[in-house]
Amino acid sequence: MKAMSHQDLKEFLEEKVRLYNRPDFIPLDPVSIPHLFSKKEDIEIAAFLTATIAWGQRSVILKNARRLISLMDDAPHDFILNFKAKDLKRFKMFKHRTFQAEDCFIFLRHLQAIYHSPGGLEKLVQQAIAEDDDDLSRAISTWRKAFCSIPHLVRTEKHFPNPEKGSASKRMNMFLRWMVRKDKNGVDFGLWKNISPSLLVCPLDVHSGRVARRLGILQRNQNDWKAAAELTAFLKVLDPSDPVKFDFALFGLGVSEKF
């Protein structure tokens, strides 16, 4: 396609953000699952588990995420705080693609350990970001090390992305976008007010990567962490304080408009 000027590109992407960053976007997106709740901790837990299984067809993601939450009695925080080993039997038949019951058990135990500590998930992530000098790749890796410190199957590690090994960590960056970004449109929650949206990295997948390359704002061919960082660096030029708002534009162009 014909190259756009910097200003034309900014206006084009801002227009697409306005088109896709609105409540109409919610029902058909994984973000609809945490939107079922109003309590902060319920939203966090539902969002994290939904983001964890957010790959594949969106209809299947929504179906399985909804089932996962229903297995928690539609009260994620209360379940996480109080479940016993025997309560995990109900998840034995749960599966989303390669995320199986054994993986689910480990994620639930990880969340229980987190929420039995003051501050829960928000404090853990906030401390990781602070300890790693606002480097989100290292912060995610620090969090991942905490996850891997509980007894687990090696196979489960692949479900918690590792930027240090090059993963674009799309699902983790999407989860962080939900928790940190806030605007008047109400798609993202903005619950974690002590983390700046300027630190976020744009979720990168096959759709947003294809669109970014067509627009000439991403040169790297692999959809890895370096590519996500390169894309985010460009988006920060367009909006230094809120670069990942353009995720709405890139994803909408890629999925809804087949750009």
Percent of the chain with pLDDT over 90: 86
pLDDT greater at residue 2 or residue 37: 37
Instruction: Render pLDDT for 61-77 as a digit per residue (tens, 0 to 9).
Output: 999 999 999 999 999 99
Alpha-carbon distance values, 8 to 171, 236, 250 (Å): 30, 16, 15
pLDDT of res. 1: 64
CB atoms within 10 A of CB 184: 5
pLDDT level of residue 146 (50, 70, 90 thresholds): confident
Structure confidence at residue 156 (pLDDT): 83
Token readout for 253 is: 């162009």
Which tens digit of pLDDT belongs to each residue from 78-120?
Answer: 999 999 999 999 999 999 999 999 999 999 999 999 999 999 9
Q: How many residues does the chain have?
A: 259
CA distance 134 to 48: 21
CB 124 within 8 A of CB 114: yes
How many CB atoms lie under 10 A from the CB of residue 21?
22
- Under 8 Å between Cβ of 197 and 244: yes
* Span 190-210, pLDDT tens digits: 999 999 999 999 999 999 999
Residues 6+ apart with CB under 8 A from 4: 12, 215, 216
φ, ψ of residue 100 to 5 degrees: the values are: -110, 180
- Rounded CA gap, 21 and 131, in Å? 32
Q: Reply yes or no on whether the pLDDT at 155 is more than 80.
A: no
pLDDT-derived band at 149 (thresholds 50, 70, 90) equals confident
pLDDT given at position 133:
85
Average pLDDT over residues 135-155: 84
- Residue bearing the bigger pLDDT, 14 or 155: 14
pLDDT over 80 at 24, yes or no: yes
Per-residue pLDDT averaged across 145-156, rounded? 77
Looking at residue 43, its amino acid is: I
